[in-house]
């Protein structure tokens, strides 16, 4: 069974670990907020979901906002998917944030994900759409 859900707002990413002057590491605030948003969106869409125990396949479509200063002609090309984002965050950082957020929620551990597709798009409605399927 596949689960498809949407995370509202601009796609987030896994930030680099931060260090205190005492040698401790922590995750930056933006990453924690995005991961919490992913967890909430998943649990609202699939209440009472038992984490998958087998191999999983994940598809992530990250929709980024179109810059305000974009000319109309270029904006239309962006909306049609002919111009795609080549800006930060990288696909792998978006995927890492989503996969880490769903540990123990959608599946027991993200090591169960054996196949993944990540795509970046432009849209008037920024969001992240995630599909998880147990294989």
The DSSP string of 3-60 is EEEEEESS----PPPEE-TTS-EE--HHHHHHHHHHHHHHHHHSTTPPPB-S-EEEEE
Structural domain of 86: 2-134
* CATH number for the domain harbouring residue 9: 3.30.1330.70
> For position 15, what pLDDT does the model report?
67
Read off the pTM. Answer: 0.85
> For position 88, what pLDDT does the model report?
86
Give the up-direction half-sphere exposure of residue 30: CA atoms within 13 A in the CB hemisphere.
13
Nearest to 45 by CA among 104, 125, 124, 131: 131
> For position 100, what pLDDT does the model report?
92
Q: Scanning the structure block, which residue is given the tokens 């260090």?
A: 19
Residues facing residue 70 across a β-bridge: none
Give burial (CB, 10 Å; 0-12/13-18/19+) of 3: middle
Cα 54 to chain centroid distance, Å, stands at 21
Question: pLDDT (tens digit, 0 to 9) for every residue of the chain, 135 residues total?
Answer: 788 999 999 998 776 666 777 777 766 778 788 898 999 999 999 888 889 999 999 999 999 999 999 999 999 999 998 999 998 888 999 999 999 999 999 999 988 999 999 999 999 999 999 999 998
> For position 23, what pLDDT does the model report?
73
> For position 4, what pLDDT does the model report?
93
Distance between CA 91 and CA 96 in Å, rounded?
Answer: 9
Instruction: Report the domain count for the chain.
Output: 1
């Amino acid at each position: 069974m596949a689960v498809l859900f949407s995370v509202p707002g601009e796609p987030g990413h896994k930030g680099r670990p931060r260090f205190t002057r005492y040698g401790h590491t922590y995750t930056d605030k933006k990453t924690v907020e995005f991961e919490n948003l992913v967890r909430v969106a998943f649990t609202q869409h699939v209440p009472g979901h038992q984490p998958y125990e087998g191999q999983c396949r994940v598809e992530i479509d990250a929709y980024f906002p179109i810059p305000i200063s974009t000319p109309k002609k270029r904006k239309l090309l962006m909306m049609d998917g002919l111009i795609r984002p080549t800006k930060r965050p990288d696909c792998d950082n978006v995927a890492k944030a989503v996969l880490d957020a769903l540990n123990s929620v959608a599946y027991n551990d993200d090591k169960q994900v054996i196949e993944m597709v990540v795509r970046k798009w432009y849209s008037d409605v920024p969001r992240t759409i995630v599909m998880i399927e147990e294989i």
